[in-house]
């Protein structure tokens, strides 16, 4: 092994070094970060449920009842009643026969793709898909074919050359670093025509989009049968932790038999499942949280446009402002931080070279006053053309 320092030094020089901030006490949109009081616009807790007293209380009661951990994998003896009921409720919410809990979204994606594909098959992926989907494709040993972002014509050309083996098209529903939506109705049509399956990772749409909050498919009017594999995470809008795959009886039974990231890992703590049952009910029934969020998004976009900020096409809570170089994105993020506003700089390789950005995320937990503070801080950055 060669020494590790030179590579770390290079990252530092190129503004690509990543470090962690330590948050303490007081959860929510106003936190103590590295000892300073900060207003956060970088969390994925879109509905403000992570700190909801009923959710927190359900986790505490769940721990008292089931213990702090599950004790084993689901297939050994770790599958509790709390997990089981949550799976049924999630399946019903997204309108599918079954759902299967995974410990994280990363593992759900690895499990689903590797259970469905192998050598000789083909997986088609948007270039901006989440890292966990790309990794899932690589791990499956299927051929990985990537198409330019949201380019259905390019996808169709690739599908037209598909010769043998299974074909699985995989996409984010809401793109995690851009906030835009995949053209799912068009993709579903291509998949039907070319006998491919469509798998959607709706980590950022679930709970947020559609009148019911069931996600991007609901918003775009896509039928469950057109997306046989749906993956959603619980650590974002639902404010807890974990993920699930939803689909047919046969799909879920196949995953139970074959998905290694399901079989060979400890089940989520049942208390987390108990808390998630409560946050699912709140997300479903309290549609005012989605309306409030939509209103904040519209207000942010209107006022940011007035300030001349270079917004991307996004109507979701993810509102990036592209800086260009990693150095510039980091500089913007630091200057916002000096004003008590925390927005993370997203740099390569998370986003393509030359498209480093501030990734602003809005939450139903933000107030008008919070939004005003964000806009005031953004106005103080002099935003010349990206370099
Ligand atoms: C966050 C995210 C994941 C990973 O989910 P975790 O539960 O955090 O592991 C997967 N896909 C997308 C699109 C995400 O944004």
Percent of the chain with pLDDT over 70: 98
Average pLDDT in the 271-277 region? Answer: 98
| Catalytic residue list contains 176 | yes
* CATH number of domain containing 106: 3.40.640.10
Which residue's CA lies nearest to atom 6 of ligand 1? 105
Top mutation candidate among 201, 237, 262, 265 for ligand 1, by most atoms within 8 Å of CB: 201
Q: Do 267 and 292 belong to one domain? A: no
Structure tokens at 385: 């053309």
Among the candidates 285, 310, 334, a domain finishes at 285
Q: Do 236 and 319 belong to one domain? A: no
Q: Do 265 and 363 belong to one domain? A: no
Average pLDDT in the 239-247 region? Answer: 98
pLDDT at residue 238, as a whole number: 98
**CA–CA separation, 95 and 97 (whole Å):** 7
Of 12-16, 54-58, 205-209, 280-284, minimum mean pLDDT range: 12-16
Q: Of the residues 236, 261, 366, 370, which is catalytic?
A: 236
Distance (angstroms) between ligand 1 centre and the Cα of 241 equals: 10
Confidence class of residue 35 from pLDDT cuts 50, 70 and 90?
A: confident
Q: Do 305 and 217 belong to one domain? A: no
- Dump pLDDT digits (tens) for 81-93: 999 999 999 999 9
Distance (angstroms) between ligand 1 centre and the Cα of 262 equals: 16
pLDDT at residue 1, as a whole number: 93
Top mutation candidate among 104, 203, 239 for ligand 1, by most atoms within 8 Å of CB: 203
Is 8 domain-assigned?
Answer: no
3-state SS string for the chain: CCCCHHHHHHHHHCCCCCCCCCEECCCCCEEEECCEEEEECCCCCCCCCCCCHHHHHHHHHHHHHHCCCCCCCHHHHHCCHHHHHHHHHHHHHCCCCEEEEECCHHHHHHHHHHHHCCCCCEEEEECCCCHHHHHHHHHHCCEEEEECCCCHHHHHHHHHCCCCCCEEEEEECECCCCCCECCHHHHHHHHHHCCCEEEEECCCCCCCCCCCCCCHHHHHCCCHHHCCEEEEECCCCCCCCCEEEEECHHHHHHHHHHCHHHHCCCCCCHHHHHHHHHHHHHHHHCCHHHHHHHHHHHHHHHHHHHCCCCECCCCCCEEEEEEECHHHHHHHHHHHHHCCEECEEECCCCCCCCCEEEEEECCCCCCHHHHHHHHHHHHCCCCCCCC
CB-based pocket (< 6 A), ligand 1: 104-106, 109, 130, 132, 172, 176, 201, 203-204, 233, 235, 243
Q: Of the residues 103, 176, 261, 279, which is catalytic?
A: 176
Which residue's CA lies nearest to atom 3 of ligand 1? 105
Q: Do 254 and 338 belong to one domain? A: no
Whether residue 27 has pLDDT greater than 80:
no
Q: Do 115 and 251 belong to one domain? A: yes
Which residue's CA lies nearest to atom 8 of ligand 1? 105
Structure tokens at 194: 């070319």
Spatial contact of 318 and 179, defined as CB atoms under 8 Å apart: yes
Q: Do 245 and 301 belong to one domain? A: no
Is 98 domain-assigned?
Answer: yes
Q: Of the residues 204, 279, 344, 355, which is catalytic?
A: 204
pLDDT at residue 204, as a whole number: 98
Whether residue 385 has pLDDT greater than 50:
no
**CA–CA separation, 251 and 225 (whole Å):** 12
User: Measured from the CA of 242, which atom of ligand 1 is nearest?
Assistant: 7
Confidence class of residue 95 from pLDDT cuts 50, 70 and 90?
A: very high
Number of domains in the chain: 2
- Dump pLDDT digits (tens) for 312-348: 999 999 999 999 999 999 999 999 999 999 999 999 9
Q: Do 63 and 175 belong to one domain? A: yes
Is 385 domain-assigned?
Answer: no
| Catalytic residue list contains 236 | yes
Spatial contact of 202 and 215, defined as CB atoms under 8 Å apart: yes
pLDDT at residue 381, as a whole number: 86
Is 2 domain-assigned?
Answer: no
User: Measured from the CA of 243, which atom of ligand 1 is nearest?
Assistant: 7
Is 96 domain-assigned?
Answer: yes
Is 5 domain-assigned?
Answer: no
Average pLDDT in the 144-173 region? Answer: 97
Distance (angstroms) between ligand 1 centre and the Cα of 38 equals: 25
| Catalytic residue list contains 52 | no
Q: Which residue has the tokens 């300030």?
A: 307
Average pLDDT in the 166-189 region? Answer: 98
Among the candidates 250, 285, 320, a domain finishes at 285
Whether residue 383 has pLDDT greater than 70:
no
Distance (angstroms) between ligand 1 centre and the Cα of 379 equals: 31
Strand-strand pairing, 23-24 and 30-33: antiparallel
pLDDT at residue 387, as a whole number: 46
Confidence class of residue 34 from pLDDT cuts 50, 70 and 90?
A: confident
Query: What is each CA distance from 180 to 89, 158, 209, 210, in whole angstroms?
Result: 28, 22, 12, 15
Distance (angstroms) between ligand 1 centre and the Cα of 189 equals: 26
Is 10 domain-assigned?
Answer: no
Give the list of residues 6+ apart from residue 7 with CB closer than 8 angstroms, or none: none
Q: Do 269 and 182 belong to one domain? A: yes
* CATH number of domain containing 26: 3.90.1150.10
Among the candidates 232, 267, 285, a domain finishes at 285
Percent of the chain with pLDDT over 90: 93
- Dump pLDDT digits (tens) for 113-125: 999 999 999 999 9
Considering the entire predicted model, what is its pTM?
0.96
Structure tokens at 258: 């074959």
Which residue's CA lies nearest to atom 14 of ligand 1? 203
Q: Do 27 and 153 belong to one domain? A: no
Q: Which residue has the tokens 């010349």?
A: 384
Top mutation candidate among 102, 106, 113 for ligand 1, by most atoms within 8 Å of CB: 106
Confidence class of residue 384 from pLDDT cuts 50, 70 and 90?
A: low
Q: Do 196 and 293 belong to one domain? A: no
Q: Do 87 and 38 belong to one domain? A: no
Distance (angstroms) between ligand 1 centre and the Cα of 345 equals: 18
Which residue segment(s) compose the domain that 224 sits in? Answer: 53-285
Is 7 domain-assigned?
Answer: no
Distance (angstroms) between ligand 1 centre and the Cα of 204 equals: 8
Structure tokens at 358: 């501030």
Confidence class of residue 24 from pLDDT cuts 50, 70 and 90?
A: confident
Which residue's CA lies nearest to atom 10 of ligand 1? 105
* Half-sphere exposure at residue 223, Cβ-oriented, CA atoms within 13 angstroms: 5
What rounded mean pLDDT belongs to the chain?
96
């Amino acid at each position: 092994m060669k020494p590790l320092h030179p590579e770390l030094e290079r990252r530092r020089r190129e503004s690509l070094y990543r470090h962690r901030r330590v948050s303490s006490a007081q959860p929510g949109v106003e936190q103590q970060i590295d000892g300073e009081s900060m207003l956060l616009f970088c969390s994925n807790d879109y509905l403000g449920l992570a700190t909801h007293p009923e959710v927190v209380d359900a986790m505490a009661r769940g721990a008292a009842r089931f213990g702090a951990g599950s004790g084993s994998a689901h297939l050994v003896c770790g599958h509790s009643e709390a997990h089981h009921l949550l799976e049924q409720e999630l399946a019903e919410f997204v309108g599918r026969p079954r759902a299967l809990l995974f410990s994280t979204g990363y593992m759900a994606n690895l499990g689903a793709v590797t259970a469905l594909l192998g050598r000789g098959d083909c997986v088609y992926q948007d270039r901006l898909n989440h890292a966990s989907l790309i990794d899932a494709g690589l791990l499956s040993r299927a051929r990985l074919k990537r198409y330019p972002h949201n380019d259905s014509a390019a996808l169709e050309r690739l599908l037209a050359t598909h010769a043998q083996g299974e074909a699985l098209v995989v996409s984010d529903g809401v793109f995690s670093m851009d906030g835009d939506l995949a053209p799912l109705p068009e993709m579903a049509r291509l998949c039907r025509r070319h006998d491919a399956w469509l798998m959607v990772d709706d980590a950022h749409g679930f709970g947020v989009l559609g009148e019911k909050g069931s996600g991007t498919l609901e918003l775009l009017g896509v039928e469950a049968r057109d997306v046989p594999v749906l993956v959603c995470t619980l650590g974002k809008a639902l404010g807890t932790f974990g993920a699930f795959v939803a689909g047919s009886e046969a799909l879920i039974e196949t995953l139970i038999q074959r998905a290694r990231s399901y079989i060979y890992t400890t089940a989520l703590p049942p208390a987390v499942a108990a808390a998630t049952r409560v946050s699912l009910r709140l997300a479903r029934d309290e549609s005012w949280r989605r309306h409030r969020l939509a209103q904040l998004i519209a207000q942010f976009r209107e006022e940011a446009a007035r300030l001349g900020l270079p917004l991307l096409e996004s109507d979701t809570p993810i509102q990036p402002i592209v800086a260009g170089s990693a150095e510039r994105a980091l500089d913007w993020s630091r200057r916002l931080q000096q004003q008590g506003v925390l927005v993370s700089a997203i740099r390569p390789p998370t986003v393509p070279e030359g498209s480093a950005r501030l990734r602003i995320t809005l939450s139903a937990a933000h107030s008008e006053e919070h939004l005003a503070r964000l806009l005031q801080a953004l106005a103080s950055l002099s935003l010349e053309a990206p370099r």
